[in-house]
Amino acid sequence: MTKQLNVRSDVAYEIAHSLARSRRTSIADVVETALREFKDRRSQAWDVLAPEEVERRYRELRALSARSAATKLPGATSDHSDMYDENGLPI
């Protein structure tokens, strides 16, 4: 016997029915698809990254950093002391 799931939410009802109509599928299919996709995203978020993926992301961040540094204007610094008085309060 197929088990039943009841969700008592007007918002969930409207979204599920709207998606089912637009996709021309059943509400059960819409809910199953949404739950599977949510589960997949959650499990991927908690997976430990492979060393190759860590290295790839590191290289991407280094490249992004280099591209950002190349756009720095001459004389630009992160010193904002001119915006504060001798007590460290904004001028």
Backbone angles phi, psi at 63, to 5 degrees: -65, -40
CA 36 to chain centroid, in Å, comes to: 18
Confidence band of 50 (pLDDT split at 50, 70, 90)? confident
Calpha distance 50→57 (Å, rounded): 11
Residue-level pLDDT at 85? 92
Q: What's the token pair of residue 72?
A: 């720095």
Let me know the angle formed at the C-alpha of 39 by 32 and 24, rounded to the nearest 5 degrees: 25
Confidence band of 61 (pLDDT split at 50, 70, 90)? very high
Q: Which amino acid is present at 7? A: V
Count of Cβ atoms closer than 10 Å to residue 52 Cβ: 8
CB within 8 A of 16, min separation 6: which ones?
27, 30, 31
Model pTM?
A: 0.47
